[in-house]
């Protein structure tokens, strides 16, 4: 089970979306014979349906492969998969920190793209050796030589040795395997030193408790050992260590350079956070591994059971998800429009959408989500400072001295032709320009300070649309800035719907209010009476739209006594009605609550 450190290779695969990362992972797993063809499901690393559909990896995983090289020696490959989205950037950086190298997959037809660059920079930041491979050379439009040149020109690394492969067709996968041996350095580290291991992923297993994926840098870890989490100081006894092949195989120990899993009767993922360092409780290492940070939610929204859905089943589902996802937080709250529900915190918008979708799919729940919000600091006239994430809790204007909002440092990498469009967008989102750096003749890195509440609104979609998907976007919380913020309310048929309330900058209120009112006009079906939709700040109405009254709603005749057809139609309409929220005498479809947040291409 154990081989000499010099025969271990720890690496990730990085790529722009759709360049073939998962397919290559599949081939490596298949060619090293870890699974038979029959056992092999397509893209084994992406386990969740959601991940497969979106083509992104949400939770990362590690798998161990055995490889016999042409030089006759046996190698162990630890392939560590990474999530592919800025919301999970921290996890990405931690899993890269567990590696010595990265395979960079570039599509032979598309060449270097935004995410290629962003990922390479993340890898270089972690001092990883980059091993480029050119994929999809079987396609008629493949131009592998040019792409090699692009990699050298744009990224500035040697790509002359990059194998030309087709992961889909299984072409030249052996060259990749040999290349891993040759190009990715063996791990360093000292078995004799005190234990120092990095948690790069953790998940809850109902039988074993929390299982941590770790990379051992120094020392050894074995069952029965007393370990300590360095960020919390909490101690646990190791129950099992092992490696992940097609299944988990317990082994006697993991030592410096190795990757595997640890189970230690840990009850909650919060006690085994990604990025934390595990050490020997009796003989601790002097310094934890660098880079640990506790991830905190940046975006909040209300999640409510939809009509006919049970509050308790939503709570149970959130609890189950939280066991596996330390970055999800929630607490109960109530809304006048939506009843009892939860205020939930997320890493970002994608994280929020993923949780919503998992609630709906894996738990089969019908939920309604409210406009996302960030945490505002409200300085009251009486000197008290309160933090609020639910716009409904904003004190009366007379009690507010001033409000501060969170601001992020954003870095946007993009081909230079989109600089104008990006600057315009950032300007529009109340961004403050910090600097612009040319990475090379064609690519720039723009730095902006942006209010987080603008970022969570529709920044991402707008950026994608304005740069045709070429720009990559990364942000981290910088601090709080004083700002002119107001609470924008939406009234439907004269009734304030708290679920739509949001805190916005005073200069944005009119535009935002009108946009929401217009969207609601499209989404709310016509009723027998005209419905005014108003956007208001306090008692001042700043925008108004009207849903015209319906003139007629008559079903077709029951020809030839076909009552069944009529009943089916009524049945279908009744189902549709179930997905409506009654607000006063108005029926509001549930999509309305989310759709007001979506970027509108027309703008």
Distance (Å, rounded) from C-alpha 140 to C-alpha 137? Answer: 8
Residue 510 DSSP label: H
Q: Which stretch binds another protein (CB under 8 A): 199-207, 317-325, 367-375, 571-579?
A: 571-579
Residue listed under structure tokens 């921290």: 90
Q: What is the DSSP string of 63-84?
A: EEEEEE-TTS-EEEEEEE----
Give the interface segment with another protein, choosing from 38-46, 305-313, 338-346, 556-564 (CB under 8 A). Answer: 556-564
Tell me which of 70, 247, 552, 602 binds another protein, using CB under 8 A: 552
Measured from the CB atom, is 47 or 526 closer to another protein?
526
Nearest alpha carbon to residue 10 among 292, 216, 280: 216
Do β-strands 220-221 and 209-218 pair in parallel, antiparallel, or remain unpaired?
unpaired
Told to check if 558 binds another protein by CB under 8 A, we report: yes
When the beta carbons of 143 and 566 are compared against another protein, the nearer one is 566
560 binds another protein (CB under 8 A): yes
The reply on whether position 401 binds another protein by CB under 8 A is no
Q: Which stretch binds another protein (CB under 8 A): 4-12, 92-100, 218-226, 557-565?
A: 557-565
CA 169 to each of CA 75, 165, 538: distance values in angstroms, whole numbers, following the listed order: 25, 8, 63
Nearer of residues 249 and 550 to another protein, judged by Cβ: 550
Q: Which of 308, 363, 376, 316 is nearest to 342 (CA)?
A: 316
Q: How far is the CB of 549 from another protein (least distance, A)?
A: 10
CA atoms within 13 A on the CB side of 550: 9
Candidate ranges 61-69, 281-289, 454-462, 551-559; the one touching another protein (CB under 8 A): 551-559
Sign of CA dihedral 53, 314, 335, 396: negative
Structure-token match 């409904």, residue found: 392
Give whichever of 385 and 555 is closer to another protein, judged by the CB atom.
Answer: 555
Identify which range of 200-208, 241-249, 422-430, 573-581 contacts another protein by CB under 8 A.
573-581
Whole-angstrom Cα distance, residue 477 to residue 407?
6
553 touching another protein, by CB under 8 A: yes
Distant-in-sequence, close-in-space partners of 58: CB < 8 Å, separation ≥ 6: 48, 50, 51, 83, 85, 88, 354
Scanning the structure block, which residue is given the tokens 């993923």? 354
Residue 208 and residue 240 in contact, taking contact as beta carbons nearer than 8 Å: yes
Q: Nearest-5° angle of CA 313, CA 317, CA 320?
A: 140
Would you count residue 556 as binding another protein (CB under 8 A)?
yes
- Site stretch for another protein (CB under 8 A), options 289-297, 341-349, 509-517, 550-558: 550-558
Instruction: Classify 110 as helix, strand or coil.
Output: coil
Distance in Å, CB of 530 to another protein, minimum: 13
Q: How far is the CB of 307 from another protein (least distance, A)?
A: 15
Q: How far is the CB of 576 from another protein (least distance, A)?
A: 10
User: What is the distance between the alpha carbons of residues 140 and 235, in angstroms, rounded to a whole number?
Assistant: 57
Q: Please report, for residues 108, 123, 363, the alpha-carbon distance to residue 414 in angstroms, rounded to integers and kept in the order given.
A: 20, 18, 39
Tokens 């290779």 identify what position? 9
Q: Of the two residues 575 and 601, which places its CB atom closer to another protein in the complex? A: 575
Question: What DSSP character marks residue 188?
Answer: -
Candidates 6-14, 259-267, 311-319, 569-577: pick the segment binding another protein (CB under 8 A): 569-577
DSSP letter for 252, please.
Answer: S
312 vs 528 by CB, closer to another protein: 528
Q: Does 564 bind another protein (CB under 8 A)?
A: yes
Site for another protein in 514-543 (CB under 8 A): 528-529
Residue 557 lies near another protein (rule: CB under 8 A): yes
How many C-beta neighbours within 10 Å does residue 398 have?
6
- In the complex with another protein, which residue's Cβ is closer, 336 or 585? 585
Q: Which 3 state secondary structure label does DSSP give 113? A: coil
Compare residues 441 and 556 and give the one whose CB is closer to another protein.
Answer: 556
Q: How far is the CB of 309 from another protein (least distance, A)?
A: 21
With respect to another protein, which residue has the nearer C-beta, 232 or 528?
A: 528
- Minimum distance from residue 240 beta carbon to another protein (Å): 56
**Applying CB under 8 A, which of residues 160, 551, 575, 602 lies at the interface with another protein?**
551
Q: Tell me the closest approach of the beta carbon of residue 236 to another protein, in angstroms.
A: 57
Sequence-distant (≥ 6) Cβ neighbours of residue 539 within 8 angstroms: none
Tell me if 287 contacts another protein by CB under 8 A.
Answer: no
Query: Which residue, 37 or 564, has its beta carbon nearer to another protein?
Result: 564
Which of 562, 578, 582, 603 binds another protein (CB under 8 A)? It is 562
| Half-sphere exposure of residue 65: CA atoms within 13 angstroms, side-chain side | 26
Q: Which of 468, 577, 578, 603 binds another protein (CB under 8 A)?
A: 577
Task: Read off the tokens for 602.
Answer: 């027309």
Stretch that binds another protein, among 112-120, 134-142, 223-231, 545-553 (CB under 8 A): 545-553
DSSP states along 165-181:
-BTTTTBTHHHHHHHHH
Kindly state the smallest distance separating residue 533's Cβ from another protein, in Å: 20
Number of residues that bind another protein (CB under 8 A): 24
Nearest-angstrom CA–CA distance, 102 and 20? 14
Residue 288 backbone phi and psi in degrees, to 5: -70, 165
Q: Which of residues 192-231 bind another protein (CB under 8 A)?
A: none
Q: Please give the torsion angle defined by the CA atoms of residues 586, 590, 592 and 595, in that order, rounded to the nearest 10 degrees.
A: 180
The residue within the footprint of another protein, chosen from 559, 575, 601, 602 (CB under 8 A), is: 559
Torsion 589-499-368-597 (CA) sign? positive
Question: Considering the rule CB under 8 A, would residue 566 count as an interface residue with another protein?
Answer: yes
Q: Is the Cβ of residue 441 or residue 563 nearer to another protein in the bound state?
A: 563
Of 36, 286, 561, 601, which one interacts with another protein (CB under 8 A)? 561
Residues that bind another protein (CB under 8 A): 528-529, 550-564, 566-567, 570-571, 573-574, 577
């Amino acid at each position: 089970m154990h081989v000499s450190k010099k025969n271990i290779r720890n690496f990730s695969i990085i790529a722009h979306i759709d360049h073939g990362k998962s397919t290559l992972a599949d081939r490596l797993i298949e060619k090293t014979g870890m699974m038979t063809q029959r056992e092999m499901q397509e893209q084994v690393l992406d386990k969740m349906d959601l991940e497969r559909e979106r083509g992104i990896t949400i939770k990362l995983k590690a798998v161990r492969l055995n490889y016999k090289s042409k030089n006759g020696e046996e190698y162990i490959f630890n392939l560590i998969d990474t999530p592919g989205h800025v919301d999970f950037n921290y996890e990405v950086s931690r899993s890269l920190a567990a590696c010595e190298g990265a395979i960079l997959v570039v599509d032979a037809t598309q060449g270097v793209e935004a995410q290629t660059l962003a990922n390479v920079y993340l890898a270089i930041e972690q001092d990883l050796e980059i091993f480029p491979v050119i994929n999809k050379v079987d396609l008629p439009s493949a131009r592998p030589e040019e792409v090699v040149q692009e990699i050298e020109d744009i990224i500035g690394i040697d790509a002359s040795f990059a194998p030309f492969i087709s992961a889909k067709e299984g072409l030249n996968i052996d060259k990749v395997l040999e290349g891993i041996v040759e190009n990715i350095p063996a791990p360093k580290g000292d078995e004799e030193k005190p234990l120092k291991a990095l948690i790069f992923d953790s998940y809850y297993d109902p039988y074993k408790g929390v299982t941590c994926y770790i990379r051992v840098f120094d020392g050894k870890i074995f069952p029965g050992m007393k370990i300590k989490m360095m960020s919390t100081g909490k101690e646990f006894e190791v129950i099992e260590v092992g490696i992940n092949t097609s299944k988990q195989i317990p082994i006697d120990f993991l030592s410096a350079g190795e990757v595997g899993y640890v189970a230690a009767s840990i009850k909650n993922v919060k006690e085994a956070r990604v990025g934390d360092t595990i050490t020997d409780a009796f003989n601790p290492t002097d310094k934890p591994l660098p880079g640990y940070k506790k991830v905190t939610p940046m975006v909040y929204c209300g999640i409510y059971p939809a009509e006919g859905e049970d509050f308790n089943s939503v709570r149970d589902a959130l609890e189950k998800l939280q066991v596996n996802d330390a970055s999800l937080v929630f607490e109960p709250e109530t809304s006048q429009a939506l009843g009892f529900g939860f205020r939930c915190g997320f890493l970002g918008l994608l994280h929020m959408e993923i949780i919503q979708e998992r609630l709906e799919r894996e738990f089969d729940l019908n939920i309604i989500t409210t406009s996302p919000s960030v945490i505002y600091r409200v300085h009251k006239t009486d000197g008290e400072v309160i933090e609020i994430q639910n716009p409904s809790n904003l004190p009366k204007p007379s009690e507010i001295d001033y409000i501060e909002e969170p601001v992020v440092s954003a870095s946007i990498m993009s081909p230079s032709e989109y600089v104008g469009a990006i600057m315009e967008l950032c300007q529009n989102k109340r961004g403050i320009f910090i600097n612009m750096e040319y990475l090379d003749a064609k690519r720039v890195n723009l730095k902006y300070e942006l209010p987080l509440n603008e970022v969570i609104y529709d920044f991402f979609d707008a950026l994608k649309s304005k740069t045709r998907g070429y720009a990559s976007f990364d942000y981290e919380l910088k601090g709080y800035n004083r700002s002119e913020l107001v609470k924008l309310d939406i009234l439907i048929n004269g009734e304030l719907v708290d679920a739509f309330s949001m805190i916005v900058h005073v200069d944005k209120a009119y535009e935002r209010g009108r946009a929401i009112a217009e969207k609601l006009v499209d989404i709310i079906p016509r009723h027998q009476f005209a419905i005014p939709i108003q956007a208001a700040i306090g008692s001042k109405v700043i925008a108004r739209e009207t849903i015209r009254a319906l003139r007629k709603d008559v079903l077709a005749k029951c020809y030839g006594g076909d009552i069944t057809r009529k009943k089916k139609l009524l049945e279908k309409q009744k189902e549709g009605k179930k997905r409506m929220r009654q607000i006063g005498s108005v029926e509001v479809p549930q999509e309305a609550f989310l759709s007001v947040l979506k970027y509108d291409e027309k703008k």
